[in-house]
Amino acid sequence: MEKKFNLPAFERHFVARLAQRLEEPKPLIQVLTGPRQVGKTTGVRQILQRTQAPFHYANADDLLVSDRNWLLEQWQQTLTLGEGALLVIDEIQKVPNWAERIKALWDTHPSKIRVLLLGSSALQLHSGLTESLAGRYELSRVYHWTFSELREGFGYDLPRYLKYGGYPGAVAFESDPDRWYAYMKESIVEAVVGKDILQSRRVANPALFRQAFEILCHYPAQEISYTKLLGQLQERGNTDLVKYYIELYGGAFLMYSLQKYSAKAWLTRSSSPKVLPACPALHTMAAGLVDNDDTERRGRIFELAVGSELLQLTGELYYWREKQAEVDFVYKDQGRLFAIEVKSGRKKSAKGLDAFAEKFPKSSRIIITPENFPQFSDSPNKFLAALA
């Protein structure tokens, strides 16, 4: 049994769900992935704090050299704790050939111990999971802190969330703009770019790659063409380069792009993307705090806040536009279709929901405002179901 930890009382929503899965008889390998600095390790330690089962916790950050026997050592140490003991390995992607080695150990001792793997890079985890551990694991994704969580954990109101929301570690620096910016830039973004992306994927021009992220963060919840984005980069390239950059940022939980909803898949793939930084704090880091009289930008940030929480759901998220009619978000889940309008204060046509409903009559029309956003953030699925 490992030592207990000193931990905060607040628990993120994923903690109870993951704890329940680990208590099931003969669970699959549990894999927890998500952004850096959003509480994955803290949440797992909260589970360990109250578990009655013996466990062994190891962090692959401690693996300074390529040690072929490191995983075997952790596995055997857990086996000595008895059947049903829990092995937790943090930053599993740091272990060379981790997936093949976990597969071999699991197949040698199926269900002898319980296994929980944590990783902060979906890019590095994905290939190992799909190629080596197929059928042996269950994946849980953790995202940035929602408004509901920051309100409960740190007393946020909506204006504060739209400025700084996303990373709990940055809360302590909000009163000092320079420290807050430095933390976001160096401890969050640069750590992800340098460790999770550039060490695992080929990027010919890292400086251009970083510049692309700064530019993308200036367009929260905005539809923008790849050609326009490319034109703002300081070196020549092509639209495939921009698509590749956005894909890498998405795999590292920093930036997402939504495609236009269409019943025809090829039209969806060929559309211009709607850009969503993963949380409001990333936009503020790149573009600075919004002026109170800038209703257009404030509206975009609120739309980003809604979109970033919709992205955490299990379904598929799009936007929709035809001529002057637009719908901010189209959410598709288990055969249900939701057309979601965000009333944010910015000027836009009000015809979108009606036009979408005429084209897709089985869809449900949903309006999210600053007034009902707290209710939405508390439980998005219940909110959507209640209004459908």
Q: 110 pLDDT band (50/70/90 cuts)?
A: confident
What confidence tens digit (pLDDT) does each residue in 207-235 have? 889 999 999 999 999 998 888 888 888 66
Based on the domain organization, do 175 and 323 belong to the same domain? yes
Based on the domain organization, do 125 and 152 belong to the same domain? no
Domain end position, chosen among 102, 117, 141: 141
Percent of the chain with pLDDT strictly greater than 70: 91
Based on the domain organization, do 202 and 126 belong to the same domain? no
- Adjacency order of strands within the sheet including 336-342: 316-322, 325-333, 336-342, 364-368
Based on the domain organization, do 110 and 177 belong to the same domain? no
Instruction: Report, as an integer, the average pLDDT of 266-284.
Output: 84
Instruction: Report, as an integer, the average pLDDT of 345-353.
Output: 75
Domain that holds residue 308: 147-387
Q: Between vectors from CA 122 to CA 115 and to CA 6, what angle results, nearest 5°?
A: 55
**What local confidence, expressed as pLDDT, does residue 266 receive?**
57
Based on the domain organization, do 132 and 217 belong to the same domain? no
For the entire predicted model, the pTM comes to: 0.90
Q: Give CA–CA dist 116/114, Å, rounded.
A: 7
Q: 55 pLDDT band (50/70/90 cuts)?
A: very high
Instruction: State yes or no: pLDDT of 339 exceeds 90.
Output: yes
Percent of the chain with pLDDT strictly greater than 90: 66
* Number of domains forming the structure of the chain: 2
Based on the domain organization, do 124 and 159 belong to the same domain? no
Based on the domain organization, do 291 and 379 belong to the same domain? yes
**What local confidence, expressed as pLDDT, does residue 169 receive?**
94
Which two structure tokens, joined as six digits, stand for 97?
């050939």
Based on the domain organization, do 129 and 187 belong to the same domain? no
Q: Give CA–CA dist 25/39, Å, rounded.
A: 26
Domain end position, chosen among 85, 106, 141: 141
Q: Is residue 32 part of a domain?
A: yes
Domain end position, chosen among 107, 124, 141: 141
**What local confidence, expressed as pLDDT, does residue 220 receive?**
94
**Residue where the block lists tokens 């850096």:** 36
Based on the domain organization, do 267 and 324 belong to the same domain? yes
Q: Is residue 5 part of a domain?
A: no
Q: Please state which of the ranges 62-66, 110-114, 209-213 shows the lowest mean pLDDT.
A: 62-66
Q: Give CA–CA dist 223/31, Å, rounded.
A: 33
Q: Which long-range contacts (CB under 8 A, 24 or more apart) does 289-295 make?
A: 289/163, 290/162, 290/163, 295/345, 295/346
Q: What mean pLDDT value characterizes the chain? A: 89
Instruction: Report, as an integer, the average pLDDT of 86-98.
Output: 90
What confidence tens digit (pLDDT) does each residue in 11-38 have? 998 999 999 999 998 899 999 999 989 9
Q: Is residue 2 part of a domain?
A: no
Based on the domain organization, do 317 and 184 belong to the same domain? yes
**What local confidence, expressed as pLDDT, does residue 199 receive?**
80
Q: Is residue 163 part of a domain?
A: yes
**What local confidence, expressed as pLDDT, does residue 210 receive?**
92
Q: Is residue 124 part of a domain?
A: yes
Instruction: Report, as an integer, the average pLDDT of 162-179.
Output: 96
Beta strand extents in the chain (DSSP E only): 29-33, 55-59, 86-90, 114-119, 137-141, 222-223, 255-258, 274-277, 316-322, 325-333, 336-342, 364-368
Instruction: State yes or no: pLDDT of 127 exceeds 90.
Output: no
**What local confidence, expressed as pLDDT, does residue 262 receive?**
87
What's the CATH number where 52 sits? 3.40.50.300
